[in-house]
């Protein structure tokens, strides 16, 4: 079973059943956590600044600013194909792809692992807006153990203040 406290190594083990079909890369792009940018820049033999300028774009999830691979969009759509997806439909950086790309795939646990990633890399339990956005997400999505609001912010009064906008930050 996957929970918020599942170790990274276990998440990778669960996700290894990726068929490398490229389906997920046709509609979105990978997200980088901070230490991955440096490694990928080295892989491309670029400075971090050059790598970021050429391949990354800003986005935000649950009030957390992040970098993701640029998307090739058509017809002004808000989403598109990952810049790292080759015309053959295969990932051009499969052997060095970021954690997000390695764990969010079409296998049976893909959705749970996507939630695991959000809980561990996007949700900031000390940021009221992050918690409010997670609360909105939970209205239409399920979570994994440890992703419940009262698990993230166990002090009921603090959680209530966050959700009622009495606490802005």
Is residue 116 in some structural domain? no
pLDDT at 167 (0 to 100): 62
pLDDT one-digit tens code per residue, 26-55: 888 999 998 899 999 999 999 999 999 999
φ/ψ of residue 82, rounded to 5: -65, 135
Confirm if 77 and 28 have CB atoms less than 8 A apart.
no
Read off the pLDDT band of 169 (50, 70, 90).
Answer: low
Judgement on whether residues 28 and 91 belong to the same structural domain of the protein: yes
Judgement on whether residues 100 and 138 belong to the same structural domain of the protein: no
Domain that holds residue 167: 123-169
Is residue 115 in some structural domain? no
φ/ψ of residue 146, rounded to 5: 100, -10
Write the DSSP string, 88-154.
TSSBTTGGG--HHHHHSSSSTTHHHHHHHHHHHHT--TT-HHHHHHHHHHHTTS---TT-SHHHHS-
Judgement on whether residues 129 and 88 belong to the same structural domain of the protein: no
Q: Which of 60, 77, 108 is the last residue of a domain?
A: 108
Read off the pLDDT band of 168 (50, 70, 90).
Answer: low
| Residues 109-117, mean pLDDT to the nearest whole number | 92
pLDDT at 106 (0 to 100): 75
Judgement on whether residues 49 and 103 belong to the same structural domain of the protein: yes
Q: List Cα–Cα distances, 113 to 19, 57, 165, in angstroms.
A: 16, 23, 30
pLDDT at 5 over 80: yes
């Amino acid at each position: 079973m996957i929970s918020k406290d599942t170790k990274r190594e276990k998440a990778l083990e669960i996700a290894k059943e990726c068929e490398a079909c490229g389906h997920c890369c046709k509609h979105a792009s990978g997200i980088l956590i901070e230490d991955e940018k440096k490694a990928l820049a080295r892989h491309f033999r670029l400075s971090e600044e050059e790598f970021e300028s050429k391949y990354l774009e800003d986005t935000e999830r649950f009030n957390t600013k992040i970098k993701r691979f640029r998307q090739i969009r058509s017809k002004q759509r808000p989403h598109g194909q990952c810049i790292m997806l080759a015309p053959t439909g295969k990932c051009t950086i499969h052997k060095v792809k970021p954690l997000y790309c390695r764990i969010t795939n079409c296998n049976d646990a893909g959705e749970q692992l996507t939630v695991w990633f959000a809980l561990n890399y996007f949700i900031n339990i000390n940021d009221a807006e992050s918690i409010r956005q997670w609360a909105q997400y939970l209205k239409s999505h399920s979570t994994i153990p440890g992703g419940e609001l009262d698990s993230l912010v166990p002090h009921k009064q603090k959680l209530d203040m966050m959700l009622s906008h009495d606490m802005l930050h």
